[in-house]
Structure 1
């Protein structure tokens, strides 16, 4: 573990999460190989089927590896990023406004999207904030202490921000792959191209999140809010704006388009540095990050 902390982290994240997801994938909400039906809580079987694995994987792996490799000083650094709230309000406002705008605009290139566009109703707008808070406390809190708080600093300390993000992106996206065999992805209405596009879209999205992470002085709450905003927009707002489009397949197309364009703009504007300050890498190089 001390020799290969990153490899250990990814192995634990995948192993713990996929083991927890296995009954859900094999149940009646997935492949139907087990006579199990997960009850719907908060309107979805994913609450019990997906969240436990999501929580136990990345954050548990990050805690274990950090504790073994870096000890208490490393755990303190890890925890400080998790509660680094004191960031300029423009970042919070920017995330909250930019994500839905980009999601909607990047949908217009799809055939029929412009004619299909609708303004979301009052019910959707009223549910937006509660949904955003729930996504922040579930998906954001479950995943980002691992992917961005643990893996990102180590990857960019060793490989640089661009290469580090190109490594993290597909690993983060592929972590979700078992869920495609469940109602999370409207199984069985999925195919391999859709899965490949989802994993591929995680690469430019990871580049954007790297920029947000670095430019906010490694503030995990802002990154978590970004992740929660993406999930909230696509699970609640996007379908209301484009009711005739495919809720999962077309949303993946727009995610790839929007994050792809944003990533290219950021790479050009920052010359590939993505807001990274190399001095911050020294603490990981000095503690044997690999």
Structure 2
């Protein structure tokens, strides 16, 4: 095959989207392999399982990246010399309006990871792990696998991926948060996709500047740790629900 195909923007985009979609493609394929068409239909229906208390939607907005930037914002209010701001554009999207931000969010959900991956991570892998392990252990395993899936990105320049160990830690924390909501909503895939999308959007949309970022960062990370401890404690309760595979 000619190498020119990789220099063609249309082919390049297609191959990128196809490659990024493999977790969901494989998750759906394996679901069909082990359970047939009936199980695939059950899996796909989990994405429209939305009738839950509004509190879960509000909690889904406060993802890991949102927690960090919200903490930065609080620090700025109490007197730290920092400023939290919204980037005016990203990848051609004008994000200086609510409509622009919403459009970016939709594109990220469809092509930036959430829909491309969640049928694999939370649709197929997580419920099967939870059949054998505690939800926390299962969430950690998914976080590690999720991180390793992105490992090749750390060898490609210009992708924005830097420290893999930090990335794995952050991804595992996010995996625990998603697992917590996932179990609270009886295995709805809508919430993992929504949380994944919000977190990715916050990561590229929000920014911070100022000469006290390091001090504010310490406080922000302490807040994230406190939130994580609260979630882990709740997940350790004997009454915690565990979603078994479909």
TM above 0.5: yes
* Corresponding residue number in structure 2 for 1:69: 34
Moved more, 80-89 or 173-182: 80-89
> Alignment partner of 2:52: what SS?
coil
- Per-residue deviation, 1:233: 0.4
Which of residues 132, 151, 158 is equivalent to 1:158?
A: 132
Match of 2:152 in 1: 178
Q: Tell me if structure 2 keeps the 8 A contact 1:173–1:202.
A: yes
Q: Give the whole-Å Cα distance in 1 for the aligned partners of 2:212 and 2:119.
A: 33
- The corresponding residue for 1:214 is 183
Measure, in 2, the Cα distance between the counterparts of 1:231 and 1:274. 31
Structure 1 segment 243-262 matched on structure 2, within 5 A: 260-262=225-227
- Give the gaps of 5 or more residues in structure 1: 1-26, 28-33, 247-252, 285-290
Following superposition, the deviation at residue 37 of structure 1 comes to 4.7
Name the structure with the higher strand share.
2
Structure 2 length-normalised TM: 0.76
Residue 242 (1) aligns with residue 209 (2): yes
SS of 2:41's equivalent in the other structure is helix
Classify the secondary structure of the residue corresponding to 1:118: strand
Residue deviations 1:236-279 (CA, integer Å, cap 9, x gap) = 12x2x438899xxxxxx9997765443222112342569423xx
Q: 2:106 aligns with which of 133, 154, 160?
A: 133
Structure 1 residue runs of 4+, over 6 Å off?
Answer: 243-246, 253-258
Q: Name structure 2 gaps, 5 residues minimum.
A: 89-94
* Residue pair 1:210, 1:274 contacting (<8 A) in 2 also: no
- 2:81 aligned residue (106, 115, 131): 115
CA contact (8 A) 2:32 2:39 kept: yes
Q: Deviations over 1:50-89 (max 9, x none)?
A: 322111x111111221111112332232122122122333
Question: Which residue of structure 1 aligns with residue 229 of structure 2?
Answer: 264
Say if 2:52 and 2:185, in contact at 8 Å, map to a contact too.
yes
TM-score, scaled to structure 1 = 0.66
Contact 1:140 1:228 in 2 (8 A): yes
Counterpart of 1:196 in structure 2 is 165
User: Number of matched residues?
Assistant: 229
User: Are the structure 2 counterparts of residues 263 and 37 from structure 1 closer, same or farther at C-alpha, using a change threshold of 3 Å?
Assistant: farther
| RMSD of equivalent CA atoms | 3.8
Q: Distance in 2 between matches of 1:86 and 1:119?
A: 33
Q: Secondary structure at the match of 2:51?
A: coil
Partner SS, residue 276 of structure 1: coil
